[in-house]
Amino acid sequence: MTEKRRKHLIDPAAPRPQVDAAAADHALTQVQRWVISVLAVTTILHLAVGIVIGSFHIDDARTGDRVGLCVIGGLFGVVAVAAGRAIHGRSPVSLWLLLGTIPGLVGIWLTLR
């Protein structure tokens, strides 16, 4: 009767399959890019939305100042999208930059209504 080997021990008769180091490194690099781009984009977008929200705390009589802060918030949104594309090695200039203007445009719409 042969004794069953316990699974947690190394079995020299059945070595582990070899892992392609280059493929594993490439997969790790891709995950790192996605993590850093998500962190960068969400952090900068929080700043953009915070600037837009901050514009609502300015006196209603100073509409130009409120619109100016909303424009700055929109510019930060554009920077967020460009940073995300640059981290992935893509050209920062594209139509995707229009998504970054959303916080500023919503702020201007709320200010002028």
In a domain, 3, yes or no: no
Closest of 72, 81, 82 to residue 108, by C-alpha: 72
pTM given for the model = 0.78
3 state DSSP class of 9? coil
Tell me the per-residue pLDDT of 50-79, one tens digit each, with 9 for 90 and over.
Answer: 999 999 999 989 999 999 999 999 999 999
The pLDDT value recorded for residue 14 is 74
Task: Check whether 6 has a pLDDT greater than 80.
Answer: no
Burial class of residue 54 (count of CB atoms within 10 Å of its CB; 0-12, 13-18, 19+): middle
Closest of 60, 99, 61 to residue 79, by C-alpha: 99
Tell me the per-residue pLDDT of 34-51, one tens digit each, with 9 for 90 and over.
Answer: 999 999 999 999 999 999
Task: Check whether 27 has a pLDDT greater than 90.
Answer: no
Give the total number of structural domains in the chain: 1
Q: In 40-52, which positions are buried (b, 16+ CB within 10 angstroms) versus exposed (e)? A: bbeebbebbbebb
The pLDDT value recorded for residue 84 is 96
Q: Record the tokens describing residue 45, joined without a space.
A: 């977008």
The pLDDT value recorded for residue 13 is 76
Residue 10 neighbours by CB distance under 10 Å: 8
Binned at pLDDT 50, 70 and 90, residue 1 comes out as low
**Which regions of the chain does DSSP assign to beta strands (E)?**
none
Residues whose CB is less than 8 angstroms from the CB of residue 11 and which lie 6 or more positions away in sequence, other chains included? 5
Domain of 58, in residue numbers: 41-112
In a domain, 64, yes or no: yes
In a domain, 20, yes or no: no
In a domain, 8, yes or no: no
